Homo-oligomer: A and B are copies of this chain.
Amino acid sequence: MTARKLTFIPGPIEFSDNVLNAMSTPSQAHTSPEFVKVFQDTLIKTRKLFNSTTESKSQPFILSGSGTLGWDLCGSNLVERNDNVLVLSTGFFSDSFANCLRVYSDNVDVLEAPKFGDTTDLSALEAKLESKKYDLITITQTDTSSGVLSDVKSIAELIKEKNSDALIVVDAVCATACETLEFDNWGIDFVLTASQKAVGVPAGLSISIASARAVEKALAKEKPTTFFTDMKRWIPIMKAYEAASGAYFATPAVQLIHALNVSLDEILSEKGTIEERIEAHKAASDEFKSKLINELGLQLVPNSLDIAAHGLSVVYYPEGITAGALLSKMAENGFTIAGGIYKDFKDKYFRVGHMGVSAVGERKEELNQCYEALKLSLAQLGYEKK
């Protein structure tokens, strides 16, 4: 038990002391040599976060904004009004991404997973890809509403086999730094994420990366559909900072970028790779889920363990336990966890985030404390494993 409630929702997560200290970095001009160096370092490390290198001519973006802004970055730059767009939906966030893309295209199809807790059915996807030529297809790597993990590699392979021109877009908001993603090797065209989940930085940064193919499409766009998310305006800025010189389009969030720079140092290994951190998330998640299932007898929302995301656990309330009761009890016991968010299911399940410092970092014991608090809370509410 701690004096302050610990935040174990699927983002914002708990932040390390070093990251929080970096948030208090005294003011620097956004084009000062001191800040330019930090932004350069951060962009270089951001490539590593996505397993990309400069050889692929990919383009990272670090913008001031919520994760949601990444959807508009995709929609406003990579989608034309008549483009055929396909959204593979595994929950609320996939559906919201589709809503965003409908602003930019009149032809947005959604392929829903067979039922809540399922992932995309590959034969249904194959049929879709044979029925129509898509210009852009989105995959939500982890849908934070269901905890379902999409198999981005297999889906991307299938898309390339059947519909090779389609740009492949991955919403990795709740997956970056806790799920495997190889941007260059898998031939992904755009990945969007945010700062406040496994990236380990307070909310306020939209972080993304575009392939050479995606950049080409954005640059070929005749008329911009937005101003702030226009990649044509941002590409020279990001290139300038990565090449160690300042440039101006909109003022970057200096303190958040300092914090991101520190967090990337914490989450990349000494060799500068992200794999170790991802493996640690998988191990922590496996252990936590195993205890939920085996010790507490709870049932996960994802319909099998191999499609359960590793950054959070999404769990049905056991019989007799109501939404409000467990969340309140957990708060009394020192932890903020999250309720459900998907349609009619929203009062039937809860969500526990396990990303970053409290799950795999120097304070990882806190995830065990969270488990103990959950066990205690359920017992206090009269729950007994059957």
Please name all residues of chain B whose beta carbon is closer than 8 Å to the beta carbon of A256 when the two chains form the complex. 202, 204, 253, 256
Let me know if A250 is at the binding interface, CB within 8 A: yes
Let me know if A117 is at the binding interface, CB within 8 A: no
Q: Which of A1-9, A182-190, A305-313 contacts B (4 or more CB under 8 A)?
A: A1-9
CB pair B226–A76 under 8 Å, yes or no, is: yes
- CA gap between A23 and B258 in the complex, in Å: 12
- CA gap between A99 and B226 in the complex, in Å: 10
Please name all residues of chain B whose beta carbon is closer than 8 Å to the beta carbon of A99 when the two chains form the complex. 227
Please name all residues of chain B whose beta carbon is closer than 8 Å to the beta carbon of A338 when the two chains form the complex. 29
Q: Taking A30-B203, A255-B204 as contacts, is the C-beta distance between A100 and B227 under 8 angstroms? A: yes
- CA gap between A248 and B67 in the complex, in Å: 12
Q: Taking A4-B26, A26-B4, A203-B252 as contacts, is the C-beta distance between A103 and B71 under 8 angstroms? A: no
**Size of A's binding interface in residues, CB under 8 A:** 61
The chain B residue with its CB closest to the CB of A4 is B26
Chain B proximity of A249: nearest CB distance (Å): 7
**Could you say which of B12, B24, B75 contacts A227, with CB atoms under 8 Å apart?**
B75
Copies in the complex: 2
Q: Taking A7-B29, A24-B24, A29-B338 as contacts, is the C-beta distance between A68 and B204 under 8 angstroms? A: no
Chain B proximity of A101: nearest CB distance (Å): 8
Select the residue from A9, A67, A69 with max chain B CB neighbours within 10 A.
Answer: A69
Let me know if A360 is at the binding interface, CB within 8 A: no
Q: Which of A14-22, A160-168, A291-299, A376-384 contacts B (4 or more CB under 8 A)?
A: A14-22
Let me know if A214 is at the binding interface, CB within 8 A: no
Please name all residues of chain B whose beta carbon is closer than 8 Å to the beta carbon of A231 when the two chains form the complex. none
List the 7 shortest-distance A-B pairs measured between CB atoms, nearest first.
A68-B250, A66-B250, A204-B253, A100-B227, A7-B27, A23-B23, A20-B24
